[in-house]
Structures are given as C-alpha cells and as structure tokens.
Structure 1
Amino acid sequence: MHCADIATLSSSDDLFNQGAERAIRCIATVFKSSRIGERRDRLPVNARNVRANFGCEMGMHRTSPAGPEMSSTTDHHKHPARRCVIGAAVFAGLVIVALGSGLRPPPSDATQIPAGPLPRQLTSVEVIRLVPADLVEEMPISGTVTPVRRAEVSAQVSGLAGIVAHRPGDVVAAGDLLVTIAPEDFALALESEQAALQGTEVQLENARSKLDRTRRLRERGAIANSLLEQAESEADMLAADVAAAKARVRLAELNRERAELRAPISGILAARMVEPGQLVASGAALLEIVDLSTVIVEALVPVGRAGQLRVGQRVSFWPPTLPERSIPARITRISPRVAEGTRAVTVYMEIDNAAEGLRAGAVLTGRVELRVAKGRLALPQDAIRTDGTDTSVTAIRDGQAVSVPVSTGTVWNGGRLVEITGDLRPGDSIVAQPLVGLAPGDPVTVVGG
C-alpha cells in the first residue's frame, strides 16, 4: 500500500481507525526497505551494483553505484534508507494528529453547555418546606420539685432513744415503727399509775360504804348532822382522787404510746436526725418522710408575665437526666402576692409522679402552653417581604423563583413565627430569607435537601 492513500480518509471514526492502520503499515514497509538497504551496504561491490536501482516507494535518493568509496562521508548520504524511515514516520504522525483532531465527530448535544443563565443553587438551609403545623405559644419556666405530702416526725416525750428502725431512702408505710424512746421507763410509769388508781378506787369504795352507814344513823337520829356531812365530803374527795388517778393512767398510756414513734404517712424516709442511745428532748425533730407520688414544682414568674398564666394551663417539663422525655403537669395554684424581696409571683404546678421518679429538690425546666392553633401555615419573619402595603414570599415552582402575595395573621413565639394565608400549598418551597441577586423568574435549584 502507498503512503499517499492516507490522504483519502474521511472524518468518521471508522475512517480514522483505517487511516491509523494504513499509516502504521506504511511505516512498516519503509522500515523493511531500510533493512534491505542496510544489508545491501554489506554485500560485495558486484551485488551492490545489481541492486543499485532499488529505491524507496516514497521517492528516496538512490545510492551511488560506485559503492561506498564514491559516496559522501555524511550519515545521510551513507544511509539514505534511514532518511526515508524518518520522513515516513514524521509524515504518518502528522496524518494521525490531523485525523484525531479534525476528523473526530463533534460532541453530542448532551455534553454541550446549555444556553441561557445558569440556575441559582440554594442549599436546604436556605429553603423552608411549607407544611401545616400546630402552632403553640409557650412561656419558659423553671422551678424546684417539692412533695405535696411530707411529715416531720418529732419526739413527744423526753428520754434516751432506743430503736431507730430505718435509714434515709427506706420506703415506709403508715403505722410502721420508726423510733422508740425509753420504752421501759414509760411502761413502768404506766404500771405505777395503774396501781395508784386501784388503791384510790378501794378507798373510794370504803368511803361510800361509810357514807351509807352514816346516813342510816342520821335517819334514826343517832348521830349529828355534821358527821354525815363529813362522810359525804370524804367520799367526794376520794371520787375526785379516782378521777385524777384515771387521768394519770391515761397520760401514762399516752406517754408509753408516744415513746414509740410510728410513720404518720406512707413514703420515703428523707432525713434521720437521731441515733440509738441519743438523749432527745420532747419536740425535737427526729425524722422526715416525704410522699413523692404527687409533687409540686414551685416556680417564680416575673410579675409582667404572670398575668398570662391561668389555673389549669398545661405545662411540659424536661428532667435533666432525661432531656428527651417530657413530663406533663398543670398549674394548680398561683400566689396572690409578690414574693418578698423579688418582683415575681410563685406558681405551683402539680405532677403525677407515680411513674416519673422525680426527687424532692430537683430543678426542672419546662414550658407553659399559653395558646394553641392546629393545622396552620406559618413562616419566620425573615421569609416574608413587605413592600409598602404589599406582603409576599418567594416560592420555588417549576425551577423558578416566584413572588407569591400573602396575608399575615397571628404572631407566635415572640414574633418569630407569623401565620400566613394566600396562594400557597402544603409542600411549597419558600426562600427562608432575602438573597442578594435573586429576582422573580430566575432559575433556581435546591441542593443538599
């Protein structure tokens, strides 16, 4: 094949491949010819003369028939076939480059840069997905947990502490024995008073028998009236002594009962201020029991905001140990006066703590539900544009920014959210805040959402 055939190739991919193959075959042919020429240089003079007329198909110079003695001393005169190889290689390379750059098919329409302005790319943070929501106006609040029922167990008699049955954290039931104070002493005192009562009652019986005899004698006139009066007085005094003795017995019984301190309510022992063998005085606080089945959260609310609160409003608290869990409560009482030394009003909120496990003294933070509107459309203030009396939002529809007129309604959450109505549909994408250079009609795409 002749090297000039390469010039007849067209610009298609198939012709490009064919042209490359032909160029390679041409180079191979020339290279083969050059090898023959080199072998000819090594032949005897007669053999070289036989092949003197051999030349390259590309029109290379013929070697001198006179042999190497008459040829030039330069390399290109010594090896004309090598010059042919170099020329053919350069020519074939140029052809391949030309075919690769000029004969390749143009790029398809899918890879071409589209005409017109590029879409403005917005991140998901810059766009709000409009959905109906339950709007809630809330007030932050925090307070301390206190039990609704608590009991301080104090000594009612003086003496040495005996049994101290429980420690803080123990669960106790109403009526359980907690502490004993000198139980033997009060038992002996009771026995003594009971014995004294019995003696006084015997004396009273004797006095009454004597009074009966004296009355009969007086009726017969055997004794003076003064003796009858004396017998009556003695009987009355002994009757009074019996009544006093009975009272002392009852007091001794009470002291013996009071020497045994029992739980007045069911709950948890919160504090213990007595140890066995300790001398306690009557009235000294010994134990504290709290009932945590129902607790109260006491909170101070500034006077300026207390007017928004009402008994019965719902409250949600989040315990510090379980911030993802909401504990329901309700306002049960609002103090009618400002707390001393503050400009705040005390608010009491009740929690059913049977399943919550809150502890007395814990601090809770929460929110009071002031008002609720269900299934409303609302946007942040920054997403709403106001131009004079016109109010609008920028929506993204069919890949374009569109200005949509709206009407505003109730303001929520301290002005952060505003109810809106207009030509809006749930699911619309709304630009969250003004963006420089974004105008209605501009192409827009949302990325990262």
Structure 2
Amino acid sequence: MEYQAKAISAEDRPQLSGPEAPSRRRRKWIIAAGVLLLVILAAWYAFGRGDEKAEAGAAPGAGGGAAQVPTVTVMVPGRESIETVVTGTGSLAARREMPIGVAGEGGEVTRVLVEPGSWVGQGQVLATVDRSVQAQTAESLDAQVRVARADARIAQTELERSQQLLGRGFVSKADIDRKTATRDSAEARVRVAEAQLAETRARNRRLDIRAPAAGLVLTRSVEPGQIISSGSGTLFRMAMGGQMEMRVQLSETDVARVKVGVPVEVTPVGSTKTFRGEVWQVSPVIDPQTRQGIVRVALSYDPQLRPGGFATARIVAGARAAPLLPESAVLSDGQGNYVYVLDAKEQVQRRTVKVGEVSDAGVAIADGLDGSERVVVSAGAFLNPGQKIKPILRKTGR
C-alpha cells in the first residue's frame, strides 16, 4: 500500500510544480471574485427595490391605512352656456304652394309655354287655349258698341237742333223732352254694349292659364291638344317666390320648447350640405293620434331643396347657463341620477342631480349643482359615500 501511495505522489508532483500551475490558480481566483461580485449585486438589487417599494407605500401617509387612500380625478365644472337642441325629421315643401287650374270656360290647349323649374313673373301666360269662337263673339259685340255709339250721336244731334228751334216756336217743350229721353236711351245702350264687350274680352283673357304671382313652376300636368275645363283640376303647381320650407314633425314636448324665429339647420337626405333657416310657424294643434305637432322652417331657394324630399333638422330652441360634466361623472341607480362631490375633509358625498341636455360635449346638469363643487370625474362606481380620496384636479378646458 505504501508503494502505491508513493507512486501516485510521484505522478502528481510534476503537475503541481510545472509552469502552468500559477495561471490555473489565478483563473480560479478570478472566477471566484466574479461570482462573489454577482452575488453582491443581486443582494443589493433585491434589498434596494424592497426599500423603494416600502418608501413608495409609506409616502401617502404616516400609517399603513394611508397607503389605501385611492387617487381620483376631480373637476370644478363652473357654468357654461349650453344650447337646447331639438332634432327632428320631416319633408320639404313649398312655403306657399299655388295650384293653378282653369279659371275660364276652358277649351283645347294650343300651347304650353313653361316647364317645371321655370321662373315666371306675375300674370305671365303659362298655357293658351283655343279662342276662335270667343274671338268672333268679341268682334260682334265690338260692332254693336260702334252702332250704339252712332245712334247716341244722332240722338244728341237731334236734341241740340230741337233746342235751337224751341226759342223760335217751331217745336214744343214736349218734343224736347222726348228727344232728351231718346238721347239718354241711346247713351244707355252704348254703355250696355261696352259692358258686354268688356265681359267677353275678360272671359277670353281667362282662357289663358296665367301665373297668379311670381315664383317657381314645380309641376306641369297639361299638354297641347288636351281639352280642359273647370273640372280638369290642377294644371300647374308653383312655389310663390321660390320660397321653400321644411315641415318638421316633433313630439308634443319638443313642440312646446320651440319658438318662432329660432335658427335651424336642415340637411336633406343624400346630401352633406346643411341649409340654414328659421322657424316661422309652430303648429297650434297636436295630432291626437300621434301626439306630434308640425314646426315649419322657412328656407331660401336652392336646387337641392326639392319639395317632397326628406330631411333632418337641428333646432336651437334656446340656451341656458349650467354645469357641464363628462358622461363618466354622472351615475344612476334606482333612486335616480347622482354624482360624487368632494367635501372639505377630502371625502366623497353623494349629490342627487337632474340631467338636462346630453350632447357630444357632455351632460348638462339642470339642477343639483351650482358649478363650484369638486366633482368626481370617473371611478365613481367604485367609491362609497364618506370614503376619503386623494384628489387630482383636472382642468375644465375641452
């Protein structure tokens, strides 16, 4: 056994005493130093992060309970001018539509002089009716007027001659009276004939279909060669002055909020263009079946405003000063709408509110706030009355 041990020691001795032994020892020391350094860095990192967390948790307050106080965003809404907007739908129409038919005895239409979309003046001829027979009647009556006037002149001349002879005694006072009566009768026949002629000419003028006022022709339902009479119905439809309107259908509640003269924005279906007008009439009655009323909006003429078309209206019914909150600030439950306000002790308190107008800008508060309160903007659903919070004030600028 001693021989083997010596033999092994003899084999190892050259390896420990050779030139490579120091370099191997240095490598081991370097590795050990690196491992130690890594252990120190890991320990520092672990203990340092723990201290930071402890400091962060202890920062809001002195005790452990203070670390549980939530941070909540609040705002002071103030009071803003908020428009009361009513929206509705309805149809476009002529503000003053004029149906035009046959005013005279009618006959065969010879010419139609206008088309839908034409602008015409007051009294302008829209269509003409054959008047060949009526023209002959007028000529006959005109001749009768001329005959009556000739007879009246003769009667006047004879009366004057007789008056000259009266002073010489050649005619009597009775002859003068008779010639005076003859002259008066002749003049009366002239007036009758002239009246008959004027009547006939007036009838003939009524054969023409004329515009009762200046405006825009909307429809035409007559063609040349058509026989028309007083029973033919409407031949043309016109918009007086080209004025248009929208007849907005609104609920009974909304009708009560709209006043004459308020501005309106009208957008026809299929168009992105908005037309400005104003309410010129609010319906004095409500339909008992639909519980709706009609609000009429005056509009200026535009080719895109076609009577019979459909449109939407945005009516500014008024404005009032009120607090304006984001939708996230207003909560509701079985007791109604409410918000959370912050008291002097930084505790939230429930405040019942009445909601007004709701728009893209936010929710108007009609009652319950004066605008000076600090109101919880969000996270109200996770709070309880009396709970203390750490508020962060948000500016009201939008």
Q: TM-score range by the shorter chain?
A: 0.5 to 0.7
One-letter identity of the residue aligned with 2:356: W
Q: Is 1:6 the equivalent of 2:30? A: no
**Cα distance 1:208–1:296, how it changes in 2: closer, same or farther (>3 A)?**
same
Partner of 1:372: 319
Whether the aligned pair in 1 keeps the contact of 2:340 and 2:376 (CA below 8 Å) is no
Q: Is 1:274 the equivalent of 2:214? A: no
Deviation at 1:275, TM superposition (A): 0.7
**Cα distance 1:136–1:360, how it changes in 2: closer, same or farther (>3 A)?**
same
One-letter identity of the residue aligned with 1:274: V
One-letter identity of the residue aligned with 1:350: V
For residues 371 and 155 of structure 1, what CA distance do their matches in structure 2 show?
47
For residues 257 and 111 of structure 1, what CA distance do their matches in structure 2 show?
109
Whether the aligned pair in 1 keeps the contact of 2:218 and 2:237 (CA below 8 Å) is yes
Deviation string 1:82-136 (CA, Å, 9 cap, x unpaired) is: xxxxxxxxxxxxxxxx7998687568589968565999999xxx99996864323
Deviation at 1:434, TM superposition (A): 0.7
For residues 76 and 117 of structure 2, what CA distance do their matches in structure 1 show?
52
Deviation string 1:198-231 (CA, Å, 9 cap, x unpaired) is: 1221122223333444556677666677766654
Picking from 430, 436, 446, the partner of 2:377 is 430
Partner of 1:330: 279
Gaps of 5+ in 2: 1-19, 58-66, 393-398
Deviation at 1:381, TM superposition (A): 8.5
Partner of 2:246: 297
Q: Is 1:180 the equivalent of 2:128? A: yes
Gaps of 5+ in 1: 17-97, 396-401, 445-449
**Cα distance 1:206–1:418, how it changes in 2: closer, same or farther (>3 A)?**
same
For residues 173 and 325 of structure 1, what CA distance do their matches in structure 2 show?
29
Picking from 251, 267, 270, the partner of 1:321 is 270
Q: Is 1:160 the equivalent of 2:181? A: no
One-letter identity of the residue aligned with 1:159: G
Picking from 81, 97, 103, the partner of 1:150 is 97
Whether the aligned pair in 1 keeps the contact of 2:265 and 2:274 (CA below 8 Å) is no
Deviation at 1:270, TM superposition (A): 0.8
Whether the aligned pair in 2 keeps the contact of 1:142 and 1:366 (CA below 8 Å) is yes
Judge which range, 254-263 or 411-420, deviates more: 411-420
Deviation at 1:280, TM superposition (A): 1.6
Deviation string 1:243-269 (CA, Å, 9 cap, x unpaired) is: 122112222332343333333333221
**Cα distance 1:356–1:6, how it changes in 2: closer, same or farther (>3 A)?**
farther
For residues 432 and 220 of structure 1, what CA distance do their matches in structure 2 show?
127
For residues 144 and 110 of structure 1, what CA distance do their matches in structure 2 show?
76
Q: Give TM-score scaled by structure 1 length.
A: 0.59
Q: Is 1:412 the equivalent of 2:345? A: no
Picking from 198, 201, 204, the partner of 1:253 is 201
For residues 432 and 192 of structure 1, what CA distance do their matches in structure 2 show?
97
Matched position secondary structure for 1:174: coil
Higher relative contact order (CA 8 A, sep 6+): 2
Deviation at 1:182, TM superposition (A): 1.7
**Cα distance 1:346–1:230, how it changes in 2: closer, same or farther (>3 A)?**
farther
Picking from 237, 244, 265, the partner of 1:288 is 237
Whether the aligned pair in 2 keeps the contact of 1:408 and 1:418 (CA below 8 Å) is no
The number of aligned residues is: 344
For residues 234 and 354 of structure 1, what CA distance do their matches in structure 2 show?
63
For residues 283 and 222 of structure 1, what CA distance do their matches in structure 2 show?
65
For residues 47 and 313 of structure 2, what CA distance do their matches in structure 1 show?
57
Q: Give TM-score scaled by structure 2 length.
A: 0.65
One-letter identity of the residue aligned with 1:325: T
Deviation string 1:252-295 (CA, Å, 9 cap, x unpaired) is: 33234333333333322111121112122147432111146543
**Cα distance 1:118–1:275, how it changes in 2: closer, same or farther (>3 A)?**
farther
Matched position secondary structure for 2:94: strand
One-letter identity of the residue aligned with 1:197: V
For residues 210 and 422 of structure 1, what CA distance do their matches in structure 2 show?
103
RMSD of aligned residue pairs (Cα, Å): 4.8
Matches within 5 A, 1:195-234: 195-213=143-161, 231-234=179-182
Matched position secondary structure for 1:254: helix
Deviation at 1:160, TM superposition (A): 1.5
**Cα distance 1:181–1:106, how it changes in 2: closer, same or farther (>3 A)?**
farther
For residues 304 and 422 of structure 1, what CA distance do their matches in structure 2 show?
27
For residues 364 and 194 of structure 2, what CA distance do their matches in structure 1 show?
78
Whether the aligned pair in 2 keeps the contact of 1:298 and 1:346 (CA below 8 Å) is no
Deviation at 1:330, TM superposition (A): 2.7
**Cα distance 1:296–1:103, how it changes in 2: closer, same or farther (>3 A)?**
same
Whether the aligned pair in 1 keeps the contact of 2:86 and 2:314 (CA below 8 Å) is yes
Partner of 1:52: none
